Chain A
Amino acid sequence: MAVISFIDAITMAMREEMRRDPNVFVLGEDVGVRGGVFRATVGLIEEFGEERVIDTPLAESAIVGVGIGAAAYGMRPIAEIQFADFIMPAVNQIVSEAAKMRYRSNNDWNCPITIRAPFGGGVHGALYHSQSVEAMFTNIPGLKVVAPSTPYDAKGLLKAAIRDEDPVLFFEHKRCYRLIKGEVPDHDYVLPIGKADVKREGSDITVISYGLALHFCLQAAEKLAQEGISAHVLDLRTLYPLDKEAIAEAASKTGKVLIVHEDNKEGGVGGEVAAIIAEQCLFDLDAPIKRLCGPDVPAMPYSPPMEKFFMLNPDKVLEAMRELANY
């Protein structure tokens, strides 16, 4: 099995799906000749031609809107939003059209579109290139929101998203793209959307996270193991709908829960995770449910010290984990 980067796993998943199913096609800004600003679609236009790898105007509402129309017609579009920050013009298409098509048409129509969007900070991208926007989409029934953290999960989940009969919003942490590498089989496999994954077994505290922050948690857990603190780490992988069963099971295992995400704290996915635990696990809880998240400020600062202040890192996570373990 080859060790490849997160972004290569994304590319591999798209290429395999396009080979498998002629209805799959890619559209987005600079996805064709340029191969995507992050190079996620590199090589696709050479292999599949410009009719299946389409460079679009700078109009996200059109990228998603065209995709929705094609999907309704039986195609399987992969719409790339260049940065998740730019998704706002397409929100109406995603929320009011794609997510509701099956419901509104009484099951006559569905919308198998996949919308890929790189999110998150830590790349000196400042305000317009660093946002975490996932929480906005995690109370929209009809929409699935996926955010993998490893190359293996990225490939399996992206293929599942492309094959899903309903719209899937696929968030890729852009800092993971070339930072995170892992073993990825070069054969075909899919992973179930809606299932969380235990990334590390432990018995003292439970840490629940996703995206880049998940790796900070794993690094911190590794260090804490040397201090005798055993952390159980759950990767949500799908942010909507949440894997309630896995969350409850992981929380009950230790009774001490820390939820970590880069997105702003208030109104973030972590609040919903905490609510699920509060509803289901009261009598297993041994400490208040804690959250470590980005601060509630409008945007990622450009100034490097301030970006560092905003971003999570393994040290911040480690401190929060140790504090909870000692509670």
Chain B
Amino acid sequence: MATKVLMPQLGESVTEGTISKWLVKVGDTVKKYDSLAEVTTDKVNAEVPSTVSGRVTEIVVPEGETVAIGTLILYIEESGEAGETQAAPAASAAPAAPVAAVAVTQQAAPRLTTAPEGGKQRYSPAVMVLSQEHGIDLSRVVGTGAGGRVTRKDVQAIIDAGGQKPAEVAQEPVVAQTPSTPAPTAAPAAASAPVAHTSAPAEIPVASGDQVIPVSSIRRTIANRMVQSKHEAPHAWTMVEVDVTNLVNFRNQAKGEFTRKEGINLTFLPFFIKAVVEALKEYPMINSTWAGDKIIVKKNINISIAVSTDDALYVPVIKDADQKSILGIAKAVDDLAARTRAGKLTMDDMTGGTFTVNNTGSFGSIQSQPIINSPQAAILSVESIVKRPVVINDMIAIRSMVNLCMSLDHRVLDGLICGRFLQSVKQKLESIGPDTKLY
């Protein structure tokens, strides 16, 4: 009996994964713990290890398909077994074929043949692009082209008709279509209605010369998270300005020696995180989560930090940030940023955050309205430090000023407590000076 390999649980809140790439093919011999496939989840890319040693007999889930945790993804015949196990799995893997096979038998051999050997359907680039953009399941489309080929017009007609209808509805016309051979040019509009699930939004026209970028898995995740947060959490926003002249002076004086001793640069971010963490301890409500009928105040203070790559945004977590010195935080930031850019974050790096600090100042912003990193209750962005004239004791002075912007989930938090929290952060930052301990 072949061993079933299931989609593994790749993280506590992960419910499904996408097989982004198979690393083995049918017939390959694998050892236990060898990587079988690359899997993309909401949170990370991971590899699925083999649970046994043996030979791959069947791949059940094709590349690009998203399946729930625990779904059967492939069969491995364990070493020493005989090859008597094919029948059952083969039957279960068949669903994609019938429509295509039926369509192929319809027409006499065309001269410009698409060569559909063994019922295998081939799709033109135009058909592939259109079906992907509009979420059309090609296996359910009846082609009107030579040999039952699905043509661009077939797909376009479905899109024009408002997308695919549910699978159940589709079955009947598919069957009805099969016996006769339609005149080659007559059918397109009529034959192209049957189709599967719809996920296409109102069609946005693409003009000639426009670039169409398929949505990557990570981009989709970001989009879903942002919509979810904005949709569920009523965002309120507030901002304070902080005089960080002393911090700037202190950091400038300390950074040379720090870099020499520690091998990493001393940036401003660890100071801000440290101040936030200390203030969170004073106002634990900020470090909480809305849970429908209750509010959960988190004991651990785990700070998510936003790290951008060229095409995506990640929020790895500094665990137990309240137990770290400024040096400890600096090292954690440096490590997480480096591993993010190298694509080497683990699931553990990505989970458990309780509050997010976003360093928007790093790209020159002086004010921003961050979206809360759900299910956290608040997010704080640190803007650019800029020199500005300010009034001190009725005199004008040039000071290094920074804006701290905070978005809060108004279900959990109110303006008063956030105001107090921000005042606390401000007070801590403004009192940084020569006595501040880095270690």
Contact = CB atoms under 8 A, between A and B. Distances in A.
B126 A323 contact: no
Given A255-B152, A326-B145, A227 B185 contact: yes
Contacts of A286: 124-127, 151-153
B261 interface: no
B145 A327 contact: yes
Given A249-B208, A326-B145, A283 B125 contact: yes
Contact of A283 (B126, B146, B149): B126
Nearest to B184: A326
B213 to A, nearest CB: 12
Interface string A252-293: 101110000000000000000000000000111111101000
A228 interface: yes
Nearest to B127: A286
A282 B129 CA distance: 10
B111 to A, nearest CB: 6
Counting chain B CB atoms within 10 Å of each CB, the highest count among A283, A323, A326 belongs to A326
A70 interface: no
Nearest to A325: B185
A165 interface: no
Contacts, number: 56
Contacts of A140: none
Interface in B312-362: none
A284 B145 contact: no
Name the interface size band of chain B.
20 to 34
B112 interface: yes
Nearest to B155: A286
B126 A326 contact: no
Interface string A286-315: 111010000000000000000000000000
B186 A323 contact: no
A318 B153 CA distance: 20
Given A248-B208, A323-B112, A327-B110, A228 B185 contact: yes
Contact of B185 (A254, A285, A288, A326): A326
A204 B153 contact: yes
A229 interface: yes
Contacts of B127: 286
Contacts of B153: 204, 286
A285 B151 CA distance: 10
B124 A287 contact: yes
B125 A282 contact: yes
B146 A327 contact: yes
A42 interface: no
Contacts of B125: 282-286
A327 B208 contact: no
Nearest to A228: B185
Interface string B104-115: 000000111010
Interface of B: 110-112, 114, 124-129, 145-146, 149, 151-153, 184-186, 208, 212
Q: What are the nearest 5 A-B pairs in CB distance? A: A286-B152, A326-B184, A286-B126, A286-B124, A255-B126
19 contacts: A228-B186, A229-B185, A256-B152, A282-B125, A283-B129, A284-B126, A285-B124, A286-B125, A286-B126, A286-B151, A288-B112, A290-B112, A323-B111, A324-B112, A325-B185, A326-B184, A327-B110, A327-B112, A327-B151
